[in-house]
Copies of this chain bind each other. A is one copy, B any other.
Amino acid sequence: MNNYSLKFAKVKPKDEKKTEHIFKATLQLVKDKGVAGITMGEIASAAKIATGTLYIYFKSKDELINALFTECRKASAEIYFKDYDASLPFKTGFKVIWLNLMKFRTEHFEKAVFMDQCYHSPFITETTKHITKEMMHPLYKLVERGKAEKIIKDADSFILLTFMVGGINEFVKHSKYSGKKITKELIEQMFNLCWDGLKA
């Protein structure tokens, strides 16, 4: 390290990585013991920091949970529409998104569990819940495009959407619990069930 960098390194900045560690530790703990069972002390030691340090990064348990919730929401939003291109034929685009939903649920399972758990917890504020609901909006749009193009059934959008998502969620949840391996083959089967249900 040269003189120049020393000048700027004088003040130790709040470690960005530490927030990440804390989040990771919290998600793991929640997956294992549920929101009901986690303490700030446990989170701290799982993140390999002192309890006091935890409070440098988050003013309270409440704030930590809410921040993590927001983080998870952001992560899911980023994945949902990855590689989606509205100019693609409907079914192709639909499958991209459907697979993304599946991807999020499987690869970020702890986040999904955490979000589900939090929804009824006293930690999450109404505002946070509200924003979360709004996040579903683009999915509504997708479903409505399908209806407009007469490719999928002309049913209530809410029904179509929850149907589209429900199978994925239930499948992933139970496969994690029961140890059932999630294979390409199974995913394909689930997609077909879903698509056959939706198509006009």
Q: Which residues does A use to contact B, with CB under 8 Å?
A: 30-37, 113, 116-123, 129, 133, 153, 155-156, 158-160, 162-163, 165-171, 173-175, 177-178, 180, 186, 189-190, 192-199
Is B162 in contact with A122, judged by CB distance below 8 angstroms?
no
Picked from B175, B195, B198, the residue with its CB within 8 Å of the CB of A158 is B175
Residue of B nearest to A65 (CB): B36
- The copy count of this chain in the complex is 4
In the complex, residue of chain B having the shortest beta-carbon distance to the beta carbon of A189: B155
**Residues in B neighbouring A170, C-beta threshold 8 A:** 162-163, 165-166, 169-170
Q: How far is the CA of A116 from the CA of B118 in the complex (A)?
A: 12
Q: Is the CB of B189 within 8 A of A30?
A: no
Given the interface pairs A167-B163, A190-B163, A197-B197, the reply to whether A33 lies near B156 with Cβ below 8 Å is: no
Q: A123 contacts which of B36, B166, B186, B196 (Cβ < 8 Å)?
A: B36
A193 proximity list for chain B (CB < 8 A): 153, 155, 159-160, 163, 197-198
Pairs across A and B, CB under 8 Å, 25 listed: A31-B120, A33-B120, A33-B122, A35-B35, A35-B120, A36-B122, A153-B192, A158-B171, A158-B175, A158-B180, A158-B186, A159-B186, A159-B190, A162-B170, A163-B167, A165-B166, A166-B170, A166-B171, A167-B167, A167-B197, A169-B170, A192-B197, A193-B198, A194-B197, A196-B196
